[in-house]
């Protein structure tokens, strides 16, 4: 059992507050992704869990044991680094077996475990090579194998795929997900790539300015963002926003249209909808098409509603010309509302 | 200018300089060493090697190198590790530690002579503490061990910093992530030093050791100041052939022997500390 509990963890570097009072529980064998832009504190949080950084305050528990005062090697963790940190002076075999050697495991056990994980990562034929003779993707595999060889309770990964090219990244993404599911370890994975986060995670923690804004399943984060930041960070293109004014109980005026909305006593809200949740209809929001981008699978149209830019994804067969007026109806159950003051979602 | 020609044009001045002031004199020395009245011969080499002082000076030079260089290596590694771990005042400490580099080797010898001679600091101190009741002349043939120790100490004091500077630069090149990985995978600080720092420092260790070993075989002024004729070394004998015995053929032969030893040790060091293909940072 390796449930991870992060309790009131804060970290400041001098006057700079990198993490504000983080609370997060990661279930045993869960694949948790920490997602956020650079500087949001996701790597700092990972490094605190690893023991490479000390929290200013707060506690970290793994498997019911408080570990924040222990050295990294005593925490039952293994880590995959962004730049791989594959030791250049050791062969692939010795790199994968490094942790086991440090634990003074017998030679035959080291050999057995190294060969097993090398097989898992498809690098059996590289065991005698040095890292200078490997490609980026192969080094990445060595770094993952080195972590798996430890059979750790928890694997920590710091942007492990960010140095690979796009195609390789996609391939490794699927492979990593499979290998980690099989190894039954709890995984924490730091990335700024939302596609990576969506495709790999059991749960995503979206981080912003040292806070966890939302921690939920990928589809929940996508469908029901808890705050405007999440709505505009997740999704490519992100959610559209338009200002809404009250028009009676549960009714809101959006760009000249009256829509059903929350019964909130507010002077104004933000109406939000994903680009793919709009359809051309008889009546709806009136928009002027500005830029039309055929993307093969669908058509991305950037239009203008009042003063605001608004993106819709339409069927690829649709014919739209710049300057054309579109009437767009939002899919009612996909409309979300945000409070402009708190930026939080309003139900 | 043609991009293919430009590099050669740019290295031309230094090539000419080295050719004129290094290669040409070297050829002259070699000619002198192998020359005699009857044309080419090994006569000069035979003469210097057969001389009774040759085995002694060879042994002394090697002994001194064997005593001094490992101590310097260990000290330089220790000091470099300490400096690299410092957050503040690192440059200041580095400057202070490298001060002896700015002193000529003869001056360094004289400084240590001022400590060890009969009216020197060591005698005053021992006298003041009551350990001895009258000044002792340490640097005589009765105390060969002290003479050796004094020379070794002076050399260690004078020339450790040259290795230090190279090793500090080398340690600075090792990415921090390797130590973090080592931390996570359970390597103690000592294991990190032996399994990460030392192997990854091989190129710098090569340079530092080659430079230091060559200088150790050329030791002259420190020995002259502290040991005089009590402690003959190869370079001192070369000097004696050239300026006391006015036998430049023999001096040239000695110079080539020292060069040969230096090249030999350089090859050994390069071989032992070689980095396998594909294993560099």
Residue of chain A whose Cα is closest to the Cα of B281:
A88
Chain position carrying tokens 């200041």: B92
Q: Do B277 and A133 make contact, defined as CB atoms within 8 angstroms? A: yes
- For A85-121, write each residue's pLDDT tens digit: 999 999 999 999 999 999 999 999 999 999 999 998 8
Higher pLDDT, B135 or B114: B114
Put simply, whether B178 touches A (Cβ < 8 Å) is yes
Q: Which residues, 6 or more positions from A13, have their beta carbon under 8 angstroms from its beta carbon?
A: none
Q: What is the mean pLDDT of residues A307-325?
A: 90
pLDDT of residue A324: 92
pLDDT of residue B156: 92
Q: Is the pLDDT of residue B38 over 80?
A: no
Q: Is the pLDDT of residue B237 over 70?
A: yes
Q: Is the pLDDT of residue B121 over 90?
A: no
Put simply, whether B273 touches A (Cβ < 8 Å) is no
Q: Is the pLDDT of residue B86 over 90?
A: no
Give CA angle at A325 (A283, A297), nearest 5°.
90
pLDDT of residue A34: 95
On whether the A240-346 domain is CATH 3.40.50.2000, my answer is no
- Are residues B164 and B132 part of one domain? yes
- Neighbour-count burial of A32, counting CB atoms closer than 10 A to its CB (0-12 exposed, 13-18 middle, 19+ buried): buried
Please check whether residue B9 lies inside any domain of the structure: yes
Chain position carrying tokens 């589809």: A219
Task: Note whether B11 and B217 are within 8 A (CB).
Answer: no
Chain position carrying tokens 């995978």: B185
Q: How far is A209 from chain B (nearest CA, A)?
A: 25
The rounded mean pLDDT for chain A is 92
pLDDT of residue B227: 83
Q: What is the mean pLDDT of residues B98-115?
A: 89
For A52, which of B180, B196, B277 is closest by C-beta distance?
B180
CA A138 to chain centre: 24
- Are residues B67 and B18 part of one domain? no
For A50, which of B184, B275, B281 is closest by C-beta distance?
B184
Lowest mean pLDDT among A283-287, B70-74, B181-185, B276-280: B276-280
Please check whether residue B157 lies inside any domain of the structure: yes
Give the CATH number of domain A4-227: 3.40.50.300
Where is A220: in which H helix or E strand?
A: helix A218-223
Residue of chain B whose Cα is closest to the Cα of A77:
B184
* Residue A71: pLDDT band with limits 50, 70, 90: very high
Where is A33: in which H helix or E strand?
A: strand A31-35
- Are residues B228 and B92 part of one domain? yes
pLDDT of residue B120: 82
What is the share, in percent, of chain B residues with pLDDT greater than 90? 52
Task: Note whether B249 and B33 are within 8 A (CB).
Answer: yes
DSSP string, A127-186: TT-BGGGS-HHHHHHHHHHHHHHT--SEEEEESTTTTS-HHHHHHHHHHHHHHHHHHT-E
Distance CA(A101)–CA(A78), nearest Å, equals 14
Q: Is the pLDDT of residue B192 over 90?
A: yes
What is the share, in percent, of chain A residues with pLDDT greater than 90? 72
3-state SS, residue A19: strand
Q: Which residues, 6 or more positions from B115, have their beta carbon under 8 angstroms from its beta carbon?
A: B121, B122, B150
- Neighbour-count burial of B188, counting CB atoms closer than 10 A to its CB (0-12 exposed, 13-18 middle, 19+ buried): middle
- Are residues B143 and B5 part of one domain? no
Chain position carrying tokens 């993106």: A311
DSSP string, A255-298: TTEEEE------S-EEEEE-GGGEEEEEEEEEEEEEEEEE-SSE
> Any idea where the domains of chain A sit in the sequence?
4-227, 240-346
pLDDT of residue A1: 66
Q: What is the CATH number of the domain that holds B140?
A: 1.10.3720.10
DSSP string, B180-239: HHHHHTT--HHHHIIIIIHHHTHHHHHHHHHHHHHHHHT--HHHHHHTGGGS--HHHHHH
- Are residues B36 and B145 part of one domain? no
pLDDT of residue A219: 95
- For A265-305, write each residue's pLDDT tens digit: 888 999 999 999 999 888 888 999 999 999 988 999 999 99
Where is A213: in which H helix or E strand?
A: strand A211-216
Distance CA(A91)–CA(A211), nearest Å, equals 41
Q: Is the pLDDT of residue A73 over 70?
A: yes
- Are residues B37 and B164 part of one domain? no
Q: Do A132 and B196 make contact, defined as CB atoms within 8 angstroms? A: no
- For A139-195, write each residue's pLDDT tens digit: 999 999 999 999 999 999 999 888 888 888 888 888 889 888 888 899 999 999 999
3-state SS, residue A309: strand
pLDDT of residue B39: 77
Q: Determine the structural domain holding residue B28 and report its residue range.
A: 1-41
Q: What is the mean pLDDT of residues A230-241?
A: 92
pLDDT of residue B6: 92
From first CA to last CA, the distance across chain A in angstroms is 37
Question: What is the number of domains present in chain B?
Answer: 2
Task: Note whether A131 and B278 are within 8 A (CB).
Answer: yes
Please check whether residue B75 lies inside any domain of the structure: yes
- Are residues B70 and B33 part of one domain? no
The rounded mean pLDDT for chain B is 89
- For A2-37, write each residue's pLDDT tens digit: 899 999 999 999 899 999 999 999 999 999 999 999
* A315 DSSP β-pair partners: A298
- Are residues B69 and B30 part of one domain? no
Interface test with A, best of B186, B194, B198, B200 (most A CBs within 10 A): B186
Q: Is the pLDDT of residue B280 over 80?
A: no
- Are residues B218 and B93 part of one domain? yes
Distance CA(A143)–CA(A130), nearest Å, equals 13
Q: Is the pLDDT of residue B74 over 70?
A: yes
- Are residues B135 and B32 part of one domain? no
- Are residues B4 and B69 part of one domain? no
The arrangement of strands across the sheet holding A16-26 comes to A16-26, A4-13, A57-62, A65-66
- Are residues B195 and B71 part of one domain? yes
């Amino acid at each position: 059992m390796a449930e991870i509990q992060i309790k009131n963890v804060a970290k400041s570097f001098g006057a700079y507050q990198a993490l504000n009072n983080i609370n997060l529980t990661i279930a045993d064998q869960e694949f948790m992704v920490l997602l956020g832009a650079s500087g949001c504190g996701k790597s700092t949080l990972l490094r605190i869990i690893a023991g490479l950084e000390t929290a200013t305050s707060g506690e970290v528990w793994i498997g019911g044991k408080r570990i924040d005062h222990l050295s990294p090697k005593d925490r039952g963790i293994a880590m995959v680094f962004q730049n791989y940190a594959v030791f250049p002076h050791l062969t692939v075999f010795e790199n994968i077996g490094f942790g086991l050697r440090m634990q003074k495991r017998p030679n035959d056990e080291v050999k057995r475990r190294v060969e097993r994980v090398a097989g898992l990562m498809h690098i059996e034929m590289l065991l005698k090579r040095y890292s200078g003779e490997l490609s980026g993707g192969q080094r990445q595999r060595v770094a993952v194998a080195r972590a798996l060889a430890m059979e750790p309770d928890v694997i920590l990964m710091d942007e492990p795929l960010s140095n690979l090219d796009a195609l390789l990244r996609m391939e490794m993404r699927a492979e990593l997900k499979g290998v980690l599911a099989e190894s039954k370890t709890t995984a924490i994975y730091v990335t700024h790539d939302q596609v990576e986060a969506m495709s790999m995670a059991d749960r995503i923690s979206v981080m912003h300015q040292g806070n966890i804004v939302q921690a939920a399943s990928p589809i929940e984060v996508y469908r029901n963002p808890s705050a405007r930041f999440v709505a505009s960070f997740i999704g490519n293109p992100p959610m559209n926003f338009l200002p809404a004014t009250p028009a009676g109980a549960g009714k809101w005026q959006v760009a000249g249209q009256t829509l059903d909305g929350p019964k909130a006593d507010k002077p104004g809200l933000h109406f939000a909808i994903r680009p793919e949740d709009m359809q051309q209809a008889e009546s709806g929001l009136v928009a002027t098409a500005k830029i039309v981008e055929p993307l093969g699978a669908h058509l991305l149209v950037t239009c203008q509603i009042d003063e605001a830019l608004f993106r819709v994804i339409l069927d690829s067969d649709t014919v739209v010309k710049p300057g054309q007026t579109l009437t767009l109806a939002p899919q009612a159950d996909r409309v979300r509302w945000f409070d402009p003051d708190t930026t939080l979602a309003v139900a | 200018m043609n991009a293919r020609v430009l590099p050669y044009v740019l290295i031309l001045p230094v090539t000419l300089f080295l050719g004129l002031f290094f290669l040409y004199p070297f050829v002259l020395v070699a000619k002198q060493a192998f020359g005699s009245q009857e044309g080419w011969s090994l006569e000069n080499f035979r003469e210097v090697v057969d001389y009774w002082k040759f085995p002694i000076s060879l042994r002394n030079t090697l002994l001194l190198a064997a005593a001094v260089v490992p101590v310097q290596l260990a000290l330089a590694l220790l000091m470099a590790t300490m400096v690299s771990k410092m957050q503040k005042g690192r440059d200041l400490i580095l400057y202070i530690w490298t001060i002896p580099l700015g002193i000529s080797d003869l001056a360094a010898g004289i400084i240590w002579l001022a400590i060890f001679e009969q009216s020197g600091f060591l005698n005053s101190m021992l006298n003041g503490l009551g350990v001895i009741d009258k000044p002792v002349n340490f640097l005589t043939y009765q105390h060969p061990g002290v003479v050796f120790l004094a020379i070794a100490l002076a050399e260690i004091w004078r020339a450790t910093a040259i290795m230090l500077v190279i090793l500090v630069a080398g340690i600075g090149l090792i990415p921090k992530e390797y130590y973090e990985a080592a931390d996570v995978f359970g390597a103690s600080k000592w294991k990190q030093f032996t399994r990460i720092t030392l192997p990854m420092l091989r190129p710098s260790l090569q340079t530092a050791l080659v430079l230091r070993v060559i200088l150790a075989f050329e030791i002259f002024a420190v020995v002259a100041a502290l040991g005089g004729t009590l402690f003959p070394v190869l370079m001192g004998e070369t000097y004696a052939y050239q300026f006391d015995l006015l036998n430049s053929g023999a001096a040239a032969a000695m110079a080539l022997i020292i060069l040969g030893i230096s090249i030999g040790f350089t090859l050994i060091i390069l071989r032992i500390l070689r980095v396998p293909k594909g294993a560099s940072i």
